[in-house]
């Protein structure tokens, strides 16, 4: 579809017939309701006018046929319609209504007593309409249905589909896009993979001369927010070709065969605009693996089969590049991933440190950022963020800057936005003084042990006792670079840091005063120890054996690839690692009790301490007035 033109060349008046059918149907319903109510309220009498003037109108009296025979002398007027319904008034002015059997002798008897008798067996206008409307509605509906079955490309199913879902078979984004590779940052290797597709769309004769075949389809797999849709749009923008975007869920519906018709129509649309990019987001909605147990979902399988046929086809040179995106490539059917369909798979990972900095600098062009802000420092503190997360971080920072009435987005705004995203908004909790004090000593223990292992674990960025989300406080680290693995020395140091908060509580308040505040710390330490022992082979006792923990349908079962004896050994080794880490942290705090207490008192006073302030307190030096992050901003 270009410039808003109709998707189909043939003129289709099916909407007109559908509207006419609905109007006639509503008229039929209105006639039934109206006639029923008017017949119930209708009083045929000449004396009623006087009764209305005197405001003494009463409901008609229901008379049986035997009552009419018995009270023939009391009847003043009678009018009989085609349904043998008699209405009128009695001589005392009372209106009546009765169902009688047509009997000329009875009518002569009533008339002989001076009553006015009239018979009207002609159909009224409403009666004529009531008889004709059902026939007209039925004929019109059949004519509309036959027209749909007969009209348009794609056969009967295609015609019905177009009527039910409108002129577009799916929610398609069409036209040429202005997005190019300059608008994509942090995924340079992935962009390089797609440059061949761009070159083919620009100059396919160059590839044909050597007999090369460009991938028919490209599958982009990665976590949400990593830029799959943006990358597909950039390919179309670089090649300057039309871009058609839809999603897998658009091909499913309650009507059997609807998905097949939609697949046909969207590929017909793409063929008429070739060369082009056809992008299908969340393709796992229709591309899930087929099995002998999936017979209850035949419509989805038919839709998948049609997609396979369209992608393979009989023509080897259609000029259509299909790009699909999914978060679950493991769910896709093997037939989709074979050469000739999605024969190139690109895994888009979360950006690394340099990639995060490039993404931040790209998005920062839309915001007014203070010159003192270091994007490298922001990138270091956003490990695990996707491109969408980083854009959201800057947007939240700008919103905070507006609330704080800053002229530009400052480093403090970004810090607040990051803490809000990671930990949740600040909580105005009414905490007991003893809880606040215990939280300060807890976080001081984390900070001191982390500083003791400085150079092994990530450097401390800040410590705070301001509650956020479910956390009453936290110590935040700022990685120098992205770690892809950990040495056993780093693992043991990390475990000591994680358990240092609980150790500090016991040292300063006693074993009976420890709290549940270390719950998340213990869970984190347990996960690290278990992974190191069961999968990384870092335990001498267990050895280099992969002992994976199985979790089926939410039910915890025994360790797989392990006997009960090995499972017990694993549990014992995990406990041994954690006990040793706790003893190590406790000994460090006991030997440096004065410094930890000094750090806790500073937290109680200021609530938040920067990494440099923590180092200055422990080393008995004054913190520098110029934070190191300002010097980094000049890089």
Query: What is the reported pLDDT for 578?
Result: 96
Min mean pLDDT across 13-27, 457-471, 565-579, 605-619 is at: 13-27
Min mean pLDDT across 68-72, 165-169, 502-506, 620-624 is at: 165-169
272 and 208 in one domain? yes
| Rounded percentage of the chain residues whose pLDDT exceeds 90 | 22
Q: Is the pLDDT of residue 159 over 60?
A: no
CA dist 144 and 150 (Å) reads: 10
Mean pLDDT score, 382-406 = 91
Q: Is the pLDDT of residue 143 over 80?
A: no
3-state secondary structure of 550: coil
The answer to whether position 143 is within a domain reads no
Min mean pLDDT across 96-105, 202-211, 222-231, 258-267 is at: 96-105
Q: pLDDT band at residue 51, thresholds of 50, 70 and 90?
A: very low
The answer to whether position 572 is within a domain reads yes
399 and 334 in one domain? no
* Angle at CA of residue 445, ends 444 and 451, nearest 5°: 85
Query: What is the reported pLDDT for 98?
Result: 80
Residue that is last in its domain, among 348, 378, 397: 348
464 and 415 in one domain? no
Mean pLDDT score, 461-466 = 88
Q: How many CB atoms lie within 10 A of CB 249?
A: 14
Residue 119: strand pairing partners: 80
Q: Which of 468, 405, 416, 477 is nearest to 439 (CA)?
A: 468
The answer to whether position 506 is within a domain reads yes
CATH number at residue 364: 1.10.8.60
CATH number at residue 87: 3.30.720.210
CA dist 578 and 527 (Å) reads: 11
Residue that is last in its domain, among 388, 423, 458: 423
CATH number at residue 465: 1.20.58.760
443 in catalytic set: yes
Where is pLDDT greater, at 287 or 56? 287
Are the beta carbons of 570 and 559 closer than 8 angstroms? yes
Q: Is the pLDDT of residue 167 over 50?
A: no
Query: What is the reported pLDDT for 249?
Result: 81
Q: Which of 349, 379, 378, 383 is nearest to 187 (CA)?
A: 349
The pTM score is 0.65
Query: What is the reported pLDDT for 50?
Result: 43
Query: What is the reported pLDDT for 255?
Result: 58
591 and 450 in one domain? yes
pLDDT digits (tens, 9 = 90+) for 307-354: 888 887 645 566 788 999 999 888 888 888 888 888 888 899 888 889
CATH number at residue 187: 3.40.50.300
The helix (run of H) or strand (run of E) holding residue 321 is strand 320-326
Where is pLDDT greater, at 344 or 494? 494
pLDDT digits (tens, 9 = 90+) for 64-119: 777 777 777 777 787 777 667 778 888 777 888 887 766 677 777 777 777 777 77
466 and 405 in one domain? no
Mean pLDDT score, 379-396 = 90
Mean pLDDT score, 431-455 = 91
Query: What is the reported pLDDT for 286?
Result: 86
Mean pLDDT score, 585-591 = 94
Q: Is the pLDDT of residue 572 over 70?
A: yes
The answer to whether position 453 is within a domain reads yes
3-state secondary structure of 91: coil
Q: pLDDT band at residue 289, thresholds of 50, 70 and 90?
A: confident
Residue 89: strand pairing partners: 95
453 and 387 in one domain? no
Q: Is the pLDDT of residue 499 over 90?
A: yes
Are the beta carbons of 159 and 149 closer than 8 angstroms? yes
Q: Is the pLDDT of residue 524 over 80?
A: yes
Q: pLDDT band at residue 402, thresholds of 50, 70 and 90?
A: very high
Q: pLDDT band at residue 528, thresholds of 50, 70 and 90?
A: very high
The answer to whether position 329 is within a domain reads yes
581 and 460 in one domain? yes
Mean pLDDT score, 387-395 = 92
Residue that is last in its domain, among 381, 404, 423: 423
409 and 457 in one domain? no
Query: What is the reported pLDDT for 16?
Result: 63
Are the beta carbons of 475 and 463 closer than 8 angstroms? yes
Q: Which of 326, 325, 343 is nearest to 334 (CA)?
A: 343
577 and 487 in one domain? yes
CA dist 63 and 134 (Å) reads: 33
Residue 362 token pair: 């790209």
Mean pLDDT score, 386-401 = 92
* Candidate list 190, 193, 443, 573, residue with the active-site label: 443
Query: What is the reported pLDDT for 128?
Result: 61
Q: pLDDT band at residue 478, thresholds of 50, 70 and 90?
A: confident
624 and 503 in one domain? yes
Mean pLDDT score, 27-43 = 53
248 and 225 in one domain? yes
Query: What is the reported pLDDT for 477?
Result: 86
Range of the domain at 417: 353-423
Q: How many domains, in total, are found in the chain?
A: 4
The answer to whether position 219 is within a domain reads yes
Q: pLDDT band at residue 40, thresholds of 50, 70 and 90?
A: very low
Q: Is the pLDDT of residue 7 over 60?
A: no
Q: pLDDT band at residue 262, thresholds of 50, 70 and 90?
A: confident
CA dist 57 and 80 (Å) reads: 22
Q: pLDDT band at residue 122, thresholds of 50, 70 and 90?
A: low
| Rounded percentage of the chain residues whose pLDDT exceeds 70 | 73
The answer to whether position 170 is within a domain reads no
Are the beta carbons of 315 and 271 closer than 8 angstroms? no
* Helices 188-202 and 228-239: angle between axes, nearest 10 degrees: 30
Report how far apart, in Å, the C-alpha atoms of 85 and of each of 80, 88, 95, 102 are: 6, 10, 14, 10
Where is pLDDT greater, at 59 or 198? 198
DSSP 176-235: -----GGG--S-HHHHHHHHHHHHHHH-HHHHHTTT----SEEEEEE-TTSSHHHHHHHH
The answer to whether position 127 is within a domain reads no
281 and 324 in one domain? yes
List all residues 6 or more positions away from 166 whose beta carbon is below 8 Å from its beta carbon: none
């Amino acid at each position: 579809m270009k410039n808003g033109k109709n998707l189909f060349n043939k003129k289709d008046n099916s909407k007109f017939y559908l509207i006419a059918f609905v109007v006639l149907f509503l008229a039929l319903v209105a006639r039934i309701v109206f006639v029923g109510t008017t017949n119930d309220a209708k009083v045929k009498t000449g004396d009623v006018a006087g009764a209305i003037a005197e405001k003494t109108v009463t409901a008609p009296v229901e008379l049986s046929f035997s009552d009419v025979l018995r009270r023939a002398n009391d009847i003043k007027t009678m009018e009989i319609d085609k349904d043998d319904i008699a209405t009128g008034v009695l001589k005392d002015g009372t209106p009546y209504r009765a169902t009688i059997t047509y009997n000329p002798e009875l009518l002569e008897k009533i008339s002989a007593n001076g009553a006015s008798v009239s018979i009207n067996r002609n159909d009224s206008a409403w009666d004529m309409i009531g008889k004709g409307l059902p026939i007209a509605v039925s004929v019109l509906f059949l004519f509309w249905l036959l027209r749909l079955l007969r009209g348009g490309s794609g056969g009967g199913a295609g015609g019905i589909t177009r009527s039910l879902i409108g002129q577009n078979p799916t929610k398609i984004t069409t036209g040429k896009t202005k997005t190019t590779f300059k608008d994509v940052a942090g995924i340079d290797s992935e962009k390089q993979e797609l440059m061949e597709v761009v070159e083919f769309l620009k100059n396919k004769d160059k590839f044909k001369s050597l007999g090369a075949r460009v991938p028919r389809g490209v599958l982009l797999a990665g976590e949400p927010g990593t830029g799959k849709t943006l990358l597909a749009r950039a390919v179309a923008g670089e090649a300057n070709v039309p871009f058609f975007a839809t999603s897998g869920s658009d091909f499913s519906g309650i009507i059997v065969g609807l998905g097949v018709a939609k697949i046909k129509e969207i590929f017909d649309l793409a063929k008429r605009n070739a060369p082009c990019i056809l992008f299908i987001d969340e393709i796992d909605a229709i591309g899930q693996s087929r099995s002998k147990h999936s017979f209850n979902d035949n419509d989805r399988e038919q839709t998948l089969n049609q997609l396979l046929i369209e992608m393979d086809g009989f023509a080897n040179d259609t000029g259509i590049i299909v790009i699909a995106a999914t978060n679950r490539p493991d769910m896709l059917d093997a037939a989709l991933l074979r050469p000739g369909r999605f024969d190139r798979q690109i895994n888009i990972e979360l950006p690394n440190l340099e990639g995060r900095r490039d993404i931040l600098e790209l998005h920062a062009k839309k915001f007014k950022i203070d010159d003192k802000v270091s994007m490298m420092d922001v990138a270091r503190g956003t490990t695990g963020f996707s491109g969408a997360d980083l854009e959201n971080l800057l947007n939240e920072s700008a919103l905070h800057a507006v609330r704080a009435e800053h002229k530009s987005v400052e480093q403090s705004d970004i810090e607040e936005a990051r803490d809000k995203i990671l930990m949740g908004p600040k909580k105005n909790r009414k905490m007991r003084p003893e809880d606040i004090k215990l939280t300060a000593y807890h976080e001081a223990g984390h900070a001191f042990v982390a500083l003791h292992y400085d150079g092994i674990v990530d450097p401390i960025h800040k410590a705070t006792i301001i509650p956020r989300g479910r956390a009453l406080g936290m110590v935040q680290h700022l990685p120098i670079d992205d770690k892809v693995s950990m040495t056993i020395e780093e693992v043991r140091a990390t475990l000591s840091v994680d358990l240092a908060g609980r150790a500090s509580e016991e040292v300063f308040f006693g074993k009976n005063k420890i709290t549940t505040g270390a719950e998340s710390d213990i869970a984190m330490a347990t996960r690290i120890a278990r992974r190191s022992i069961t999968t990384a082979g870092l335990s001498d006792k267990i050895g280099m054996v992969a002992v994976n923990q199985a979790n089926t349908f939410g039910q915890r079962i025994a360790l797989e690839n392990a006997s009960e004896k090995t499972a017990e050994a694993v549990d014992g080794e995990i406990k041994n690692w954690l006990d040793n880490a706790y003893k190590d942290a406790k000994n460090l705090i006991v030997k440096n009790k004065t410094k930890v207490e000094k750090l806790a008192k500073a937290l109680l006073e200021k609530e938040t301490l920067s990494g440099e302030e923590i180092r200055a307190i422990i080393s008995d030096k004054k913190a520098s007035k110029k934070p190191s992050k300002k010097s980094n901003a000049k890089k």
